């Protein structure tokens, strides 16, 4: 039984390129983002990985990245579930703002707290703790049972929703998880034990 779980952050989006807070806004991928997703799919295929099921968020940048990866894997019609539970962290009033402009408006220290603390919410938005509280029940109730049944699962989502999963998989604390960086288009390949803990983890890098 394989118990393979692969997490991939979507390719670079137009707002990533412009250094904007994105959250639940729905910009498309850049040309670089498309290439990152293609590379991710090709890398998974080169490892001999195939999948039984995929999960993604309700946002197009994650869905488009998944479509590109599945095309590269030769599995464009793979059964896929989409759910808001896997959406990026909602940055509230920060959404659409340039990060440098936000620092000028609220100050470097305050913006850093909003971005890198675990439980401090930006105005009208979610803290990382809130995102974890949204993502983990979906993981435990929907994604993890499929993996433990022996299905090979691919998840295309976002930096903060994937941080929430990594918090469990990598056994990270609220103090260490905010500093974890998840690069766009880089697959994280986990093999789980029967008790749902991690047996091996591979980061596929160019």
Q: What ranges make up the beta strands (E) of the chain? A: 4-9, 53-56, 80-82, 153-157, 188-192, 198-203
Spatial neighbors of 110 by CB under 8 A, at least 6 apart, are: none
For residue 83, count CB atoms less than 10 angstroms from its CB and return exposed for 0-12, middle for 13-18, buried for 19 or more: middle
**Dihedral in degrees, nearest 10, Cα atoms 130, 131, 136, 138:** 110
Helices 31-46, 60-72: crossing angle, 10 deg rounding: 40
User: Would you please indicate which residues are annotated as catalytic (active-site) residues?
Assistant: 10, 88
For residue 86, count CB atoms less than 10 angstroms from its CB and return exposed for 0-12, middle for 13-18, buried for 19 or more: buried
Whether the CB-CB separation of 132 and 164 falls below 8 Å is answered with: yes
């Amino acid at each position: 039984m394989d118990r393979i779980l692969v997490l991939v952050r979507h390719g670079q989006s137009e707002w990533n390129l412009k250094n904007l807070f994105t959250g639940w806004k729905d910009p498309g991928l850049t040309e670089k983002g498309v290439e990152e997703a293609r590379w991710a799919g090709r890398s998974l295929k080169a490892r001999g990985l195939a999948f039984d099921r995929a999960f993604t968020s309700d946002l197009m940048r994650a869905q488009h990245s998944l479509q590109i990866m599945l095309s590269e894997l030769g599995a464009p019609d793979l059964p896929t579930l989409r759910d808001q539970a896997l959406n990026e962290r909602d940055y509230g009033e920060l959404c659409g703002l340039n990060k440098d402009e936000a620092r000028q408006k609220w100050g470097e220290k305050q913006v850093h707290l909003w971005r890198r603390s675990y439980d401090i919410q930006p105005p009208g938005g979610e803290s990382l703790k809130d995102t974890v509280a949204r993502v983990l029940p979906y993981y435990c109730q929907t994604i993890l049972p499929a993996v433990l049944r022996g299905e090979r699962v691919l998840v295309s989502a976002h930096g903060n929703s994937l941080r929430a999963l990594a918090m469990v998989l990598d056994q990270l604390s609220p103090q260490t998880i905010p500093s974890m960086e998840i690069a766009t288009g880089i697959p994280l390949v986990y093999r789980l034990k029967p008790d749902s803990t991690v047996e091996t983890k591979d980061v596929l890098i160019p």
